[in-house]
Amino acid sequence: MKLYYGPGACSFVPHVGLEAIRAATGEAFEAQAVKLHKGEQHSAEYLALNPLGLVPLLVVDGKPLTQIVAICDYLDRRCPQAGLLPADTWQRAQAMSTFAWMNNTVHPTFTHIFRSGKFADGEAAQAEIKRTAQGAFRDQLERIQSMAEKAAPFLLGDTLSFLDAYALVFLRWGGLAGIDPASLPAYQAYVGRLAAVAPVAAAMAREGIHLDTYRKQ
């Protein structure tokens, strides 16, 4: 398996999954960085694999698979012993409900902040989109904080899951959006603990990322 990822991007979620699978089974994977800020996702070579020009992309036996939720579902079904999603049908559905909310609501809210130019042409309209999305993103991080307060020690209990990796990504992105992680103390403490968990630490080291992204705006 080969993962194409952008350092610090949402592709961190399956990246952590692949590290957890390696830890559980010894199965190795390849990881290829795609420099999003340099537009490498729009190269002809990359678009041939993923016409959407987005990361993550997982290539399995030469075949491309896109979309975080689909990739992670595949990884979990391929290697259930890594415990990245619950085995119990109802618990899995509950986990997928939170996963879907993260992917289809929280993630695009940040896209409206970080890439507001995708959603409006004029500067004033972009500033308005950004301001509105910042408020929504803050509310969403607070909702994740309420989940983190119950983490034991992970969001789904005693096993690291894709949800934890996504939660870490969002707090880092919050820092870039001017949200001080210290204003979300339970969330910050939980992510601090996560960063020390071996598969998470390994993915962070490969991507060359750290938790300290906060820039006052």
Ligand X SMILES: N[C@@H](CCC(=O)N[C@@H](CS)C(=O)NCC(=O)O)C(=O)O
Q: Which residues bind ligand X (CB under 6 A)?
A: 6, 9-10, 36, 41, 53-56, 67-68, 103
Based on the number of CB atoms within 10 Å of its own CB, is 200 exposed (0-12), middle (13-18) or buried (19 or more)? buried
Among 82, 86, 52, which residue's Cα sits nearest to residue 67?
A: 52
Instruction: Name residue 174's amino acid.
Output: G
Least distance CB 118 / ligand X (angstroms): 7
Are the CB atoms for 53 and 62 separated by under 8 Å? no
Phi, psi of 31 (to 5 degrees): -135, 125
Q: How far is the CB of 56 from ligand X (least distance, A)?
A: 6
For ligand X, the closer CB: 10 or 191: 10
Q: Which residues contact 105 (CB under 8 A, 6 or more apart)?
A: 140
As measured in angstroms, the least distance from the Cβ of 91 to ligand X is 22
**203 contacts 19 by C-beta, under 8 angstroms:** yes
Task: Rank residues 29 and 119 by Cβ distance to ligand X and give the closer one.
Answer: 119
Nearer to ligand X, 103 or 188 (CB): 103
Q: Which residues does 164 contact at the CB level (< 8 Å), separation at least 6?
A: 16, 154, 155, 156, 194, 200
What minimum distance in Å lies between the beta carbon of 53 and ligand X? 6
Cβ closest to ligand X, residue 170 vs residue 190: 170
Q: What's the closest the beta carbon of residue 149 comes to ligand X, in angstroms?
A: 26
- φ/ψ of 80, rounded to 5, equals -60, -25
- Kindly state the smallest distance separating residue 179's Cβ from ligand X, in Å: 17
| Residue whose CB is less far from ligand X, 107 or 197 | 107
Rank residues 32 and 146 by Cβ distance to ligand X and give the closer one.
32
Say whether the peptide bond before residue 153 is cis (omega within 30 degrees of 0). Answer: yes
